[in-house]
Chains A and B, each alone.
Chain A
Amino acid sequence: MNISLVLNGRRADWDVEPGEALLDALRRHGVLSVKRGCDTASCGTCTVLLDGAPVPSCAVPAPRADGREVTTVEGLPEAAAHLGACLAAEGADQCGFCAPGLVVAVVAMSRELDDPDDEAINHYLAGNLCRCGGYVSQTRAIRRYLQEAR
């Protein structure tokens, strides 16, 4: 079926399967920042913004994106560069597989929460797993990013 969406600010007309996940449609169309880490909406590596709200794209049927705005990390270059620099400064970027989804979730958090403390950060980002870094360095980096971004 044909859908029309706004992907990272540009209109895209795609032919998708009714049962296809948005994650698969994105990757099939070359949006490769969106990663598949699980198949159960448990890991957060496929997080995208759907009309501004963070969602696991593996759990969103692609037809649901019809007429809506989808934002991936490719559409958030400034936040990616800035948060990326903060992560790198802390050594918090390890294998990088969780990073694009994390950036998307942090951008959503920064729009939604005003001056979150560590507990609020960890609660908001609980769905974004990382297996390499043990989280504490990521939290240091996110705190730095939020301070600098304000």
Chain B
Amino acid sequence: MKRDDGLREVGRSLPKIDALGLVRGTPAYTDDLAPRESLCVVAVRSPHAHARILSVDTAAALAMPGVLAAFTWRDVPRVAVTRAGQGHPEPSPRDRFILDEYVRHVGDEAAIVAAETEEQAREAARAVRVEYEVLPAVLDFEAALDNPVVLHPEPEIHENFPIGFEPRRNVASAYSMHVGDVDAVVAGSEVVLRRRYYTQAQQHVALEPHCACTWLDVHGRLNVMSSTQTPWHVRRIMARALEREVKEIRVVKPRIGGGFGGKQMLHGELYCALATLRTGRPAKMVYTRREVFEATNTRHPMRLDVTLGADRDGTLRAIDLEVLSDTGAYGEHALTVFMVAGAKTLPLYNKVEAVRFGGRTVYTNRVPGGAYRGYGAIQGNFALESALDELAGELGLDPIVLREKNMIAEGETSPIFAIMGEGTEGVEMIVESCKLPECIRRGRELIGWDAKGPRREVAPGVFRGLGMALAMQGSGIPTIDMAAATLKLNDFGSFNLLIGATDLGTGSDTILAQIAAETLGVPTGDIIVYASDTDRTPFDTGAYASSTTYVSGHAVREAALKMRAEILVEGARSLGCEPARAAFDGSEVRGPDGAITLRDLSAKLLYNEHQKQLMTTGSHLCEKSPPPYMAAFAEVEVDAATGEVTLVDYVAVVDCGQAINPNLALVQVEGGLAQGIGMALWEEVVYGPQGHLRTRDLMSYKIPGREDIPSIRAELVASHEPSGPYGAKSVGEIGIDTPPAAIANAVAAAVGARVRELPVTPEKVLGALPG
């Protein structure tokens, strides 16, 4: 099939290559594939938000039937690590041990047991006697800085490079930057708006709970299968924590049941490894849903102080964003999530004379913060896009007009691209694709912005309002994210595509196969994908930071270009002509005097003539991070008597460059929107006064169900990113960014209630109603 754009496989909504197998329930996830004879590993978890472990008595547990091993902090290597699952060296502080003498949140691991069955392991865990000295806890992140209670006094912990780490002050990281003199420009602005916003902790709630298993292979190497987004980081961090060599460990990611950032961090892998290394037996650890809530990670809650300086005509002159972020008990992604709150929001409004960003991430005795889709951008977006709406109100301008006047455009840049990276400096970048004007035009048409007007009364005391927000994200982490891919030609013309990239349910294996097929000129069905195995596939940093399509996609394309060249050489040799006089079209190599099909050539190459294996590897370093962009519009209905908010319609129009697989790109957006809507309206990790979670199951923590999600309408605009593989940018995260601000803005439009603290609950709406 030849299309106008000349593409054959890219740009087609092909079915996901693993779709039917997964729908049929084929065993594919870690708990399905763990060796049947695995020991079950269970953690003894702290009932206290902050305590010192005085003693652990495992004798009774070890005497119970089926129990093979128990571990306390005294039994494990004392090496400071971070479980963040980032590159090397990590931008997160190394502030954690496999097990420690201190527990720092309810649910923190105090001891580990392993037994033949899960029931035996759970009973053994209950029989472990832990004597705690309960310590005062820091639960309010606004009181954490310089609190007399210090969470991390241990001497071994450290930062890998300067990240503002001051554990004695409960500071995990700090950062500040500025361009121009913000105070002077604000002082000289005709209108100044100062607002404070709060975002909450959100849980990923991937439907597959975290799961890992380990076994020793015939060579005595430690094999790890894990529901992870970062196999290579897991291998490296496990080696450090266990005081082993990287070469002694293999990590494999099978299918995983959703990640959203929650599986970037390490969880059960180290505990399974303890059991396997001690007993020689396979071991597995399957988190309960309660453990996922209590003992994995959440989105970092933030306090965001925004100051905007503008002139009456709507010219935005200065933005100041001061952030306090709560990283909970450990500093996983503390610096980088906090920096992204500025780095992936402030460049949207690049024409300001001065811009400043700064603040700290502090420790509290709560569930650790971690990577979560949006990764700071959603927090920053809520503050900035709410503040702009408030500014539009003060100026008497249409919120769209205010944004159009100040937003970034193709051919432009922002100094922030060079100043702020993720934990390090960024890189300079000219924006080569930005279809925000088209996104806005199409979105306002779909939602009916002009026809409906910002506010109308649809029944007595019931109002409908429209709100909107813009967003940007990135495409990988420049100069850090690297991916590789290998293609191997098989007899009779199929190819193995070996990729380090980590499909967490998004369909990235499928789109990478499409890119390989496009480049080779073969059908996607001739590409056999094998991914995410530290022994058997080339390296990839992992599935995070919206990097797979943009970074891994390039690596695949490069491997395929090399393969094409090799096929041409071998085909020409077989035809007895110079390669320069031959051409390969995906199905045959044709020379001046004849042709040989790929099918025949590949068989000949392995069995008959000039036998050799054709195998090529492409490797790609992300050198820039072109942002995808989006304009989103929400229509809400608010009952002014009860404060109840109903989302009536949500429209999102996205510029993600060329979509490799439009359906899969759209569902990325739709799924991101649903999680963002959840964060806007319902989802919140709630603690009791002693630091116990009140939301620790799916009854007390509300994720959107299908009756809660109204008409979501997502569209992609035509766009082409010159630096991307076939013009693609990323699309994994941006969908989540807009709902908090767009919905809060729509509520404010409907009834005048400006809610600055997420989620937007009926109580807060009532409290914010104008007298």
Q: Do A and B come from one complex?
A: yes
Which residues of A are in contact with B by a Cβ distance under 8 Å? 17, 32-40, 42-43, 45, 72-74, 77, 80-81, 83-85, 87-100, 103, 122-123, 125-126, 128-139
When the two chains form their complex, are residues B664 and A132 in contact, meaning their CB atoms are under 8 A apart? no
Give B1-32 interface residues, CB cut-off 8 Å to A: 13, 15-16, 18-20, 22-29, 31-32
- Of A33, A39, A136, most buried by chain B (CB within 10 Å of CB) is A136
Contact stretch, chosen from B255-263, B348-356, B512-520: B255-263
Chain A residue contacts of B671, Cβ below 8 A = 94, 131-134
Complex interface bits, B83-97 against A, C-beta within 8 A gives 1, otherwise 0: 000000000000000
**B290: chain A residues within 8 A (beta carbon):** 39
- Find out whether the CB atom of A96 lies under 8 angstroms from the CB atom of B23: yes
Interface residues on B, range: 35 or more
Min Cβ gap A104→B in Å is 9
Give the distance to chain B from A137, nearest Cβ to Cβ, in Å. 5
Give the complex CA separation of A17 and B123 in angstroms. 15
Query: What B residues does A98 contact at CB under 8 A?
Result: 207
B707/A96 in contact, CB under 8 A: no
CB-contact partner of A100 in B23, B506, B675, under 8 A = B23
Identify the B interface with A (CB < 8 A). Answer: 13, 15-16, 18-20, 22-29, 31-32, 119, 204-209, 255-260, 286, 288-290, 504-507, 661, 663-664, 666-667, 670-675, 697-699, 703-707, 709, 711-712
Contact of A34 (CB < 8 Å), options: B25, B507, B709: B25
User: Which residues of chain B are near A73, meaning CB under 8 Å?
Assistant: 23-25
Residues of the B chain whose Cβ atoms lie less than 8 Å from the Cβ of A132: 258, 505-506, 667, 671
Nearest Cβ on chain A to B227's Cβ, whole angstroms: 10
Instruction: Tell whether A123 pairs with B208 under 8 Å between CB atoms, given A72-B25, A83-B23, A84-B20.
Output: no
B20, B207, B712: which contacts A131 (Cβ < 8 A)?
Answer: B207
Most buried by B among A85, A87, A134: A134
B23 touches A137 (CB 8 A): no
User: Please, how many angstroms separate the alpha-carbon atoms of A126 and B709 in the complex?
Assistant: 11
The contact sample of 29 A-B pairs, CB cut-off 8 A, is A33-B24, A36-B31, A37-B257, A38-B698, A39-B697, A40-B697, A40-B699, A73-B23, A80-B23, A83-B23, A84-B19, A84-B20, A85-B15, A85-B19, A87-B23, A91-B663, A91-B666, A94-B258, A97-B505, A100-B24, A131-B260, A132-B667, A133-B667, A133-B670, A134-B675, A135-B674, A135-B704, A135-B706, A138-B706
| CA gap between A10 and B257 in the complex, in Å | 29
Q: Could you tell me if B706 and A96 are in contact, using CB atoms closer than 8 angstroms?
A: no
Contact B504 A32 (CB under 8 A): no
Contact at B703–A81, with CB atoms within 8 Å?
A: no
Taking a contact as CB atoms under 8 Å apart, the answer to whether A36 and B209 are in contact is yes
- Pick the residue among A40, A91, A129 that contacts B703 (CB under 8 A): A129
Of all chain B residues, the one with the shortest Cβ separation from A37 is B207
Given known pairs A32-B32, A88-B15, the reply for A39 and B289 (CB within 8 Å) is: yes
In the complex, the 10 A-B pairs of residues with the closest C-beta atoms, listed nearest first: A33-B25, A95-B505, A96-B22, A97-B257, A91-B663, A84-B23, A88-B15, A134-B674, A134-B670, A42-B698
B25 and A129 form a contact (CB under 8 A)? no
> How far apart sit A27 and B260, CA to CA, in the bound complex (Å)?
26
Residues of B within 8 A of A32 (CB): 25, 27, 32
Find out whether the CB atom of A80 lies under 8 angstroms from the CB atom of B255: no
